[in-house]
Amino acid sequence: MYKATIAITLRPSILDPEGETVHHALTNLGHDAIEQVRMGKQAELWIEADDEAEARRIATDACEHLLANPVTENFDIHLERASASAK
């Protein structure tokens, strides 16, 4: 069993109104030191696979076909062995 932690982020060229709203709110809370905010998604997948290469292939396929928008988003997959799902 592998756990894939996937960060899905907007490409740098894509505007991020959610991030700008959060940045504005943090500035209003007094956080002048925060210069920029970008918001994204995280997906955690528990995958039954024989090896890390197969787990990565499954996670990549899930990103390309469902989780990420190939036009506007990038994704980054981090894999680790897991004893069981979080259920």
Binding footprint of a copy of itself on the chain (CB under 8 A):
1, 5, 7-9, 12, 19, 22, 25-26, 29, 31, 33-49, 58, 61-62, 65-67, 85-87
Looking at the Cβ atoms of 71 and 73, the one nearer to a copy of itself is 73
Query: What is the SS3 assignment for 5?
Result: strand
Residue type, 34: I
Smallest distance, Å, CB 71 to a copy of itself? 19
Contacting residues for 70 by C-beta, under 8 A, at least 6 apart: 64
Smallest distance, Å, CB 3 to a copy of itself? 9
Helix (H) or strand (E) holding 9: strand 2-10
